[in-house]
Structure 1
């Protein structure tokens, strides 16, 4: 299987994904408070745009670039976009499962999936710890071991 990784990865301001995680935390709190499958579908669309098209195409990324970043100094460093994009894909999976739960009447599934996504978003927003990013890095390390082992 050919490697489709770009030669030079896209580099991003690491504060953007944390801002997005903060907004995601608020949306997921709303979802859990209202049991709204529709709100979770909207969050799934946000996750999908970030995962598939890139973080700059996510509505939260756009808000960060337009409203927040101009008020901040430049970032001290940039980071590879691939781990946060993978994290968006993981969030998308939880949002799709949760929305299916809420919309089909299996509220327990909606609550469980939304709560798991909320925990991950909260960790990123408050502590800067991205669970999806760590999963991505574990996968990269595992693949490297298989290729060189």
Structure 2
């Protein structure tokens, strides 16, 4: 989708490069969680819990105000020029919520002494993050229209606010 004002995305939209940047960081963090889990399940649980907080921030405040979104805006965006393509915020917030659920379930698995369960949920989140980072395929965004139809109107409207 083209942006008529290439300087800054309009309200309810974000530069497509920001979520992909965040997905690359997320991919690295989740891959590190899986590697660390081989040596120290508690350390893996802590790192995954930190990533869960990042997902929660993205789901609650939107991609621009999430920790990785702020890094993109401060360090990356000024160096790569104005945006020419934008995407809506609501599906991205939903995708972050899905990431949070998988990360939280992974933390619970690790904390309950089941590194296999923790690794499986981490692997699901890693797969989704990598698809977004490498190929621009946001699984949560693809699921969002179905979820939006199932949610009550007030809840669907709340997820659309940036």
TM (normalized to structure 1)?
A: 0.86
Paired position in structure 1 for 2:84 = 76
Q: 1:142 to 1:41 in 2, by over 3 A?
A: closer
Is 1:122 the equivalent of 2:130? Answer: yes
Write the mapping of 1:93-132 to structure 2, written as runs, cut at 5 A.
93-132=101-140
Per-residue deviation, residues 48-83 of structure 1 (Å, max 9, x unmatched): 000011112211000000010001121112211011
Structure 1 segments of 4+ aligned residues over 6 angstroms from their partners: none
Please provide the CA RMSD for this pair.
Answer: 1.5
2:62–2:92 CA contact under 8 A, matched in 1: no
Runs (5+) with no aligned partner, structure 2: 1-9, 38-43, 152-162
Per-residue deviation, residues 115-138 of structure 1 (Å, max 9, x unmatched): 000000000000000000000023
Paired position in structure 2 for 1:32 = 34
1:102–1:110 CA contact under 8 A, matched in 2: yes
Number of aligned residues: 136
Quote the Cα distance in structure 2 between the aligned partners of 1:88 and 1:78.
17
Runs (5+) with no aligned partner, structure 1: 1-7, 144-149
TM (normalized to structure 2)?
A: 0.80
Is 1:51 the equivalent of 2:53? Answer: no
2:15–2:87 CA contact under 8 A, matched in 1: yes
Quote the Cα distance in structure 1 between the aligned partners of 2:56 and 2:71.
16
